[in-house]
Amino acid sequence: MKDTNQKKRANGTPKIVAIVGPTASDKTKLAIALAKKFNGELISADSRQIFKGMDIGTNKDKSYPQHLIDIVNPDEEFSVAQFQKMAYKLIGEILKRGKLPILVGGTGLYIDAVLYGYSIPPKTKESARLRQELERQDAQALWRKLQKLDSKSAVKIGPHNKRRIVRALEVTLLQKMPFSQLQNKRQVPFQALIIGINIPRVTLYQAIGDRVDAMIARGLVGETEKLAKKYSFDLPSMSSIGYKEIGQYLQKQISLKQAIDEIKQKTRNFARRQLTWFRRNKEIVWIENAEQAIDAVAYFLADQPRKICLKIYGNVLGVFFRASAQKLAQDLNLSGFAVNASDQTVEIVAEGQEANLNKFLKWCRQGPALAQVDKVEAQWGKFSGEFSSFEIR
């Protein structure tokens, strides 16, 4: 095996790893294990852990150094564009030190802004005035307005995330163009392996409940009480899950038991939204344990060839699909290529570098002109002859 501490491909393209998943799925624990094994540094991608003094309620893990936690006060604004700029700077610095940048967190927009180079308009005084006006309106009314102006963003954000709805409307109205169109992707100067933690729903909900109980035991009430002496519960940071409910308890609006139950329920809802966000990204490699993640990173860094077996279903026009697939496989330097095609199904086997196989897989999901692809099953192997279980892509 090649030296897995080498953080560049043979062609010189730097590499980074991202660990994503829902809250309470032990992302940071996995990231720390990978950092120790592959000489990495962690960059937190959590929109709440950026706030100083909000440690228990955001479940910060300070047992291992992380960049981009504790960087602003709870009453300070911090944008996705700021995060992206700081993350890019850190990635460059970490690579110069010969280490592996590991981006870890559950804030999907932070992750995507870095990995896909979103061009995000900066906030201005004019946008601040408009934002204040929008924030006075009801979330459902704002979402309906966004549906009319930018249905793509409305579907992606959903009707409950008022802060992101306001931001999308703010940009759309000021730029006179849908927010979804303004989030243009730029070419990023690195290759990324995105690892998603696949955890059964029952296990996840139990972990959420246990985490909330642990937060209470560690002193979430006291932390919230201390923060409330300096900061208003009207702030986005102080109205986030955990702090809002404990604030209501401190103000004698609800009992502590009610606060705890609400935190658990809202966290479960939040985890579902996170999963919905990440499941849309077909580039994520979903793993179930640390051993699978270590294998994935090792092969990613070592540039070892992998093998893939695809089953493609739909009105795929076999002969035409075969010819187009063979040409693309040749262009991507894939070897061991074999295809069996009919009008309804196509089976393909190919070997090559993982990045090229992913490009080929992406093309297969769309199919050539006139083909209608309904479903693709992808079976990955670490090397010739070895496959993991089928995964619907």
Quote the longest CA-to-CA distance of the chain: 71
Confidence (pLDDT) at 323: 84
Confidence of residue 5 (pLDDT cuts 50, 70, 90): very low
- For residue 337, is pLDDT > 60? yes
Residue percentage of the chain with pLDDT more than 70:
91
Of residues 357 and 253, more confidence is placed in 253
**What CATH architecture does domain 15-118+187-279 belong to?**
3-Layer(aba) Sandwich (3.40)
Mean pLDDT along residues 218-229 = 98
Mean pLDDT along residues 86-99 = 97
Residue 26 annotated in ligand binding:
yes
Of residues 47 and 354, more confidence is placed in 47
- For residue 389, is pLDDT > 80? no
Angle at alpha carbon of residue 44, lines to 39 and 50, rounded to 5°: 145
Residue 203 annotated in ligand binding:
no
Confidence (pLDDT) at 129: 87
Residue 276 annotated in ligand binding:
no
Residue 23 annotated in ligand binding:
yes
Mean per-residue pLDDT of the chain:
88
Mean pLDDT along residues 117-121 = 81
DSSP string, 317-361: -HHHHHHHHHHHHHHTT-EEEEEEE-SSEEEEEEEE-HHHHHHHH
* Stretch (H or E) spanning 53: none
pLDDT tens, position by position, 141-163: 999 999 999 998 898 888 888 88
- For residue 385, is pLDDT > 50? no
- For residue 318, is pLDDT > 90? no
List CB contacts of 196: < 8 A, sequence separation 6 or more: 20, 21, 278, 284, 285, 286, 287
The C-alpha atoms of residue 130 and residue 121 are separated, in whole angstroms, by 15
Of residues 369 and 310, more confidence is placed in 310
DSSP string, 59-126: T---SS-EESSS-B-TTS---HHHHHHHHHHHHHHHHHTT-EEEEE-S-HHHHHHHHTT---PPP-HH
Residue 180 annotated in ligand binding:
no
Contact 135, 239 (CB under 8 A): no
The CATH class given to the 125-182 domain equals mainly alpha
- For residue 221, is pLDDT > 60? yes
pLDDT tens, position by position, 20-66: 999 999 999 999 999 999 999 999 999 999 999 999 999 999 999 99
- For residue 357, is pLDDT > 90? no
**What CATH architecture does domain 305-392 belong to?**
2-Layer Sandwich (3.30)
Every domain of the chain and the residues it spans:
15-118+187-279, 125-182, 305-392
Enzyme catalytic residues: 322, 340
